């Protein structure tokens, strides 16, 4: 993948994200919305350029289709549902706090949300930096020499990418100012947890050494909790 293609694909994602957000809001006069879009772009591009320089094979994987032939069948359904539910959740938050003004989240909590998003993206980057097999879909990458990674953040939790995702998903409704978005967050967390469990079942069955790694590294997402 070239730098120009990386910029193009990231820009398309950001434009679609902004269209969903501001389209549902019914206005572009929404500072929190612009902060969110800017944080997503500022977080995404550096990770992409780091991968372009240090691990272009993983960058190619992460920009591949979310529905793939080698992917576990259940994960195809999960990703197809995610492609509908995630933007719908985003649109709901815009409807809530901008178009209909149902929610009024204190400024202090919005600031917490603004901080949580880059913190979560930073945590996700640590996982990407450590694991060259961190594809966005659940599959065994035999052609790339797929093996167990137990270094870096993987010493503490088995799914550090999901841990980072939970942090920035918590930040989203707080920054945007939506109690309705926050109320639906437990469903997002439950879906991530469900996928983590199903992914581990696949890895334990098909990836040599994963079952031993899972026994050594006790926690899935949050140390001392789960």
CATH code of 55's domain: 1.20.120.1630
Domain carrying residue 157? 3-216
- Specify the pLDDT at position 193: 96
What's the full length of the chain, in residues?
A: 226
Asked, for residue 137, whether it belongs to a domain, the answer is yes
Write down the pLDDT at residue 114: 97
In a domain, 9, yes or no: yes
The answer to the question of residue 20 being in a domain is yes
Q: Is residue 43 part of a domain?
A: yes
The model scores a pTM over 0.85:
yes
**In the chain, how many domains are there?**
1
- Give Cα separations from 38 to 57, 96, 117, 129, 159 (angstroms): 27, 21, 11, 22, 26
pLDDT one digit per residue (tens) for the chain, 226 residues: 788 889 999 999 999 999 999 999 999 999 999 999 999 999 999 999 999 999 999 999 999 999 999 999 999 999 999 999 999 999 999 999 999 999 999 999 999 999 999 999 999 999 999 999 999 999 999 999 999 999 999 999 999 999 999 999 999 999 999 999 999 999 999 999 999 999 999 999 999 999 999 999 999 999 989 9
């Amino acid at each position: 993948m070239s730098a120009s293609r990386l910029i193009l694909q990231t820009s398309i994602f950001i434009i679609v994200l902004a269209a969903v957000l501001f389209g549902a809001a019914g206005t572009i006069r929404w500072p929190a919305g612009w902060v969110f879009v800017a944080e997503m772009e500022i977080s995404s591009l550096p990770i992409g350029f780091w991968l372009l320089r240090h691990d272009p094979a993983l960058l190619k994987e992460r920009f591949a289709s979310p529905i793939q032939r080698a992917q576990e069948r259940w994960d195809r359904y999960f990703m197809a549902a995610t492609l509908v539910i995630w933007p719908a959740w985003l649109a709901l938050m815009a409807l809530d706090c901008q178009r209909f003004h149902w929610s009024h989240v204190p400024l202090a909590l919005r600031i917490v949300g603004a901080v949580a998003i880059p913190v979560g993206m930073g945590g996700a980057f640590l996982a990407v930096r450590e694991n060259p097999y961190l594809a966005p879909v659940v599959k065994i990458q035999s052609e790339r020499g797929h093996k167990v990674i137990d270094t870096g953040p993987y010493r503490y939790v088995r799914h550090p990418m999901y841990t980072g995702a939970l942090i920035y998903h918590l930040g989203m409704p707080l920054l945007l100012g939506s109690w309705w978005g926050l109320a639906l967050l437990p469903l997002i967390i439950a879906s991530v947890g469900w996928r983590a469990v199903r992914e581990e079942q696949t890895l334990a069955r098909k990836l040599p050494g994963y079952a031993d790694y899972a026994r050594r590294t006790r926690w899935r997402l949050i140390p001392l909790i789960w």
